Structure 1
Amino acid sequence: MTRRRPTRRDQARQVEVFDPLALGNLQEVLRERLERAELDDFPPRDFLGAGVYALYYVGDFDLYAPLKNTERKVPIYVGKAEAGNSSYGEPASPDGFQLVNRIKKHADSVAEASQTLNVTDFKVRYLPLDDAWIVLAERALLREYRPVLWNTVMPGFGANAPGSDRQNARSIWDTVHPGRPRAGRLCNRRFTLDEMRERVRLAVAASILEEGDERTAAIEALEAYQQRPLWRPKKKHERGPRVVVQDQPRFLSEMARLGLEIPEHRVVDNELDPTGDPEATAERNTLVAEQLSMELELETEGQLM
């Protein structure tokens, strides 16, 4: 039997076809475009538009020093401001102050935390965009610079003011950087200040590494750093005080350090898992769920085609 000689097509190499509209490629383009923007003062002068932005720390606060002393320029926080959607399907207005107003709101928070921070210790990059690209661009920044310190490991910086309920936990951001009047009136549910600072060190060390196995291992070590929770609100089916203390020595020590009033509470000794806390859930979602959401979007697009 005569064997067929390989054809030129059989011998040709397979070269990856570049799809400029693939989600990963769009994210890379958006991230690179933001990084080409000049660093501006914080807050910047007024400009029009919605879009994404990144804050960079350039001051002397000890925990953040590695961020400014490395060639890999890593933002301490990234965010977005959308133009807004009309319930009647009309296009969002691109000529508002959505993006600059959002950045200025952050500057107000920093100014209130004057014990540890100064607005002059920050710079900002921003990229005005059409609303269609804003969420995608923010995701690209979160994935590129993960864990993005103030988005994940130190939640609370960009949150809106809580209500007056006495069960409000003080966020990690407000614990490390006290001063905002809106800070909760109970200590953080998950960590003491010393434990928070240790996690910040782990996060900063991971942030400044280039993408690769070492960085992945550093982020895994960060996620693995957990402690017994200090307290939680009572559950709907429970009776008694609204505060349930899970580690009384650490809870009382933190409340005393913060100068906060000890509320009526109940002590339990058999609850060790911190993963049910909403702050922990939000952190894990930002750290590890981006790839899952991307895969889900791709799967959905395939079903709709």
Structure 2
Amino acid sequence: MGVAEVAEYARVSRQAISNMRNRDDSFPAPVEELRSGPVFLESEIREYFEPRGGSAGRSAPMSDSVVRHVPAEFDPLDKANLVASVVSALFSAPAQPLGQFEPFNGSGIYCVYYSGGDELYAPIADGDPSRPIYVGTVHGRTRASSETLSASSSPALARRLRGHAQSIEAVERHTTPTIKHPLFVRDFSFRCLVVDEMWAVPAIDSVMSRSAPIWNSVIRGFGAHTTGSSRRAVKAAWDTLHPGRQWAEPYEDGYSVEELETLARKHFSRSLETGVGI
């Protein structure tokens, strides 16, 4: 979450959030500082504001010891419940090896999983469907126009997954004894769901909030195709930690490997405390 999203969540101004950061030492520290501003973990923001009566805060406990509960009507067609069913279908889809799968048509959502031996990613290497290392969505649109295609009419999803496999294969080819965090495509799998864009976007947002995949939130850049044309462009965190993609090599590192290791371990430590992503 950026400052604007935090302010919207807390129903205060951006300036109020800046004041809180400056005056309250318990305000959550950002997980990353981008040019556009700090980025915070949604779980930590919720944990900070709920006791203070934030917009998502729970009502104050009743003064007496009687537990009063009035069951709410469950609407299976409510948007939140429909989105939850899409997420459940994604997590229930069969896992397939990222490096070798049959071509297919479809756009929608996907999760990439790691099962290798790098201790840095050990907390998510247990095969749990709700602990992806990266998630993404592919919309059913052509590059030549904004024409919307049906969810099953384009090979865009398979093409995206193959691109991810190629990124990991580039790192694998670059592996030397001095590389601290090599990657091997055999250690990666994916689950995907061909689904209309109407449901793909809220579903992947739900997965992001629930799972906080590290390659989406801390070690960013896995899904990038180029670093950009800016003279001040720096190498993405993912390419610093996992070098190998040739187009990224000319750029300077924005972080050291050691700094990124520290960020990753803090991310997983917070996840253990909050239950988000673990």
Give the TM interval when normalised to the shorter protein.
0.5 to 0.7
Residue matched to 2:11: none
Q: 1:20 to 1:86 in 2, by over 3 A?
A: farther
Residue 133 of structure 1 and its aligned partner are, at CA, apart by 1.3
Residue matched to 2:192: 126
Q: Is the 8 A contact 2:104 2:155 kept in 1?
A: yes
1:223-255, Cα deviation, whole Å (9 max, x unpaired)? xxxxxxxxxxxxxxxxxxxxxxxxxxxxxxxxx
Residue 84 of structure 1 and its aligned partner are, at CA, apart by 1.0
Q: TM-score, normalised by structure 1?
A: 0.59
Residue matched to 1:100: 158
For this pair of structures, how many residues does the alignment match? 200
Q: 1:32 to 1:58 in 2, by over 3 A?
A: same
From 245, 249, 252, the equivalent of 1:187 is: 252
Q: Is the 8 A contact 2:115 2:127 kept in 1?
A: no
Unaligned runs of 5+ in 1: 1-11, 220-305
Residue 203 of structure 1 and its aligned partner are, at CA, apart by 1.7
Residue matched to 1:111: 169
Equivalences for 1:153-192 in 2 at 5 Å? 153-163=218-228, 165-183=230-248, 185-189=250-254, 191-192=255-256
Residue matched to 1:198: 262
1:133-175, Cα deviation, whole Å (9 max, x unpaired)? 11112112111102x1001101111012134554220111000
Q: How far, CA to CA, are the matches of 2:77 and 2:144 in structure 1?
A: 28
Q: How far, CA to CA, are the matches of 2:220 and 2:145 in structure 1?
A: 34
Q: How far, CA to CA, are the matches of 1:103 and 1:204 in structure 2?
A: 25
Q: Is the 8 A contact 1:51 1:128 kept in 2?
A: yes
**Do residues 29 (structure 1) and 29 (structure 2) align?**
no
Residue matched to 2:140: 83
Q: TM-score, normalised by structure 2?
A: 0.65
Residue 73 of structure 1 and its aligned partner are, at CA, apart by 4.7
Residue 78 of structure 1 and its aligned partner are, at CA, apart by 0.3
Please give the root-mean-square deviation of Cα atoms over the aligned residues, in Å.
2.7
Which structure has more RCO (C-alpha within 8 Å, separation ≥ 6)?
2
Residue matched to 2:209: 143
